[in-house]
């Protein structure tokens, strides 16, 4: 007879499991179904003729003329016209100030617009806006930011953050939402995060929920909740670390990732990272395994193994050779996210990535 009570309730539970179940059932939801409001207000596509049938008023006429004038002047002034596609647009809502979408400025509280593929949204130092697609998530755009919608489809969306800060809360399946920056692309793996880009193209990514993949040209970092990662235009994403890691570790890591160090300074930086790493920082050391040379890697292995023992099947030799299945298995032992989600995303990407890995 099948006996898998924990999974499907079949068979008999052991006494401890029964006790746990009996104790916890008291917290079960028992509330009544609320009286939901009528759903008439669900947003539907507005009729394209509604404006004409609603009656002309002087205000509408003036607004239309103004809009027409702005559009014509915008078209005349534009040097490189943007091609707008028919892909689904993102809803833009003004939160403060006067954010601009294409050539339109959202200046009143009721202002709403849509960001279409190819269009740029710009906030000045006093404006904020939100971007929403129901099936994907919500993006809050801070002041002094420039965001372009690059792709929008049923199972993939891509923004480009050229400058400034966005806060993303994504509920689309992992891998379907990507934000490009000048120095790396952030791939949502089921999460909420904040992404910032400086004028020189460098940036930072901070994850608040779930985890994010940050990659450029096969140079990848995985950033779990509570961690952050710095990226630079030439080097790409640096080694990620938890924000509560010691200042010494963070400084040494920064030097190791982005500064031109002499051999002795490099050794010193690595020594500090290893000495300062806590069990929680094992994921940082895991990333470093890929970034150190063959002489340095055994030191990393030993320290990482002392913090989080390698799972069954992961050997010292395999790790030092960066055997992919072994590296993946060790990552999964950290319980920070299933790396097969990332591997699946990689496989869906453009062939050049695979070609590069195969070389």
Scan for tokens 């070389």, then name that residue.
359
Angle between helices 297-307 and 282-291 (to 10 degrees): 160
d(CA 78, CA 89): 22
Closest contact distance (angstroms) between CB of 220 and other proteins is: 4
Residue 40 or 247: the one with the smaller Cβ distance to other proteins is 40
Residues near other proteins, by CB under 8 A: 6-9, 16-17, 20-21, 23-29, 31, 33-34, 36-44, 88, 133-135, 137, 154-155, 169-171, 173-174, 190, 192, 208-209, 215, 218-220, 287, 290-291, 324-325, 327, 335, 338, 340-341, 343-344, 346-347, 349, 353-354, 356-358
Give the gyration radius of the chain's Cα atoms.
26
Q: How far is the CB of 293 from other proteins (least distance, A)?
A: 11
For residues 179 and 195, the answer to whether their CB atoms sit within 8 Å is: yes
CB of 60 to other proteins, least distance (A): 27
Query: Looking at beta carbons only, is 43 or 81 nearer to other proteins?
Result: 43
Cβ 147 to other proteins shortest distance, Å: 20
Nearer to other proteins, 161 or 191 (CB): 191
**Between residues 78 and 348, which has the closer beta carbon with respect to other proteins?**
348
Q: At what angle do helices 324-333 and 339-348 cross, to 10 degrees?
A: 140
Residues 6+ apart with CB under 8 A from 192: 167, 168, 169, 170, 207, 208, 209, 210
Alpha helices (H) in 45-163, listed in sequence order: 50-53, 58-77
The smaller minimum CB distance to other proteins, of residues 271 and 343, is found at 343
Give the shortest CB-197-to-other proteins separation in angstroms. 22
Q: 121: closest CA among 95, 89, 145?
A: 145
């Amino acid at each position: 007879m099948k006996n898998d009570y924990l999974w499907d309730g079949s068979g008999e539970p052991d006494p401890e499991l029964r006790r746990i179940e009996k104790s916890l059932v008291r917290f079960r939801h028992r509330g009544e179904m609320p009286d939901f409001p009528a759903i008439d207000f669900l947003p539907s596509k507005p009729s394209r003729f509604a404006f004409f049938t609603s009656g002309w008023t002087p205000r509408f006429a003036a607004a239309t003329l103004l809009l027409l004038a702005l559009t014509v002047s915008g078209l005349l002034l534009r040097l490189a016209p943007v091609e707008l596609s028919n892909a689904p647009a993102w809803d833009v809502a003004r939160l403060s100030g006067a954010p601009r979408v294409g050539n339109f400025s959202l200046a009143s509280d009721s202002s709403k617009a849509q960001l279409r593929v190819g269009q740029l949204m710009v906030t000045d130092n006093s404006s904020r806006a939100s971007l929403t697609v129901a099936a994907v998530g919500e993006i809050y755009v801070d002041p002094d930011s420039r965001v372009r919608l690059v792709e929008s489809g049923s199972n993939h969306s891509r923004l480009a953050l050229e400058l400034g800060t966005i806060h993303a809360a994504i509920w689309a399946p992992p891998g379907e939402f990507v934000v490009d920056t000048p120095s790396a692309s952030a791939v949502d793996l089921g999460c909420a995060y904040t992404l910032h880009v400086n004028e020189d193209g460098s940036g930072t990514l901070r994850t608040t929920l779930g985890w994010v993949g940050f990659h450029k040209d096969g140079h990848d970092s995985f950033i779990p909740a509570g961690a952050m990662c710095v990226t630079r235009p030439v080097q790409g994403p640096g080694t990620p670390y938890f924000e509560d890691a010691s200042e010494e570790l963070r400084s040494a890591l920064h030097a190791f990732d982005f500064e031109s160090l002499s051999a002795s300074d490099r050794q010193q930086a690595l020594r500090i990272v290893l000495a300062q790493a806590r069990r929680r920082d094992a994921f940082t050391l895991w990333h470093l395994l890929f970034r150190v040379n063959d002489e340095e890697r055994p030191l990393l292995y030993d320290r990482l193994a002392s913090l989080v023992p390698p799972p069954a099947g992961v050997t010292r030799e395999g790790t030092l050779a960066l055997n992919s299945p072994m590296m993946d298995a060790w990552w999964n032992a950290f319980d920070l996210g299933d790396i097969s989600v990332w591997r699946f995303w990689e496989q869906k990407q453009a062939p050049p990535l695979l070609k590069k890995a195969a070389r």
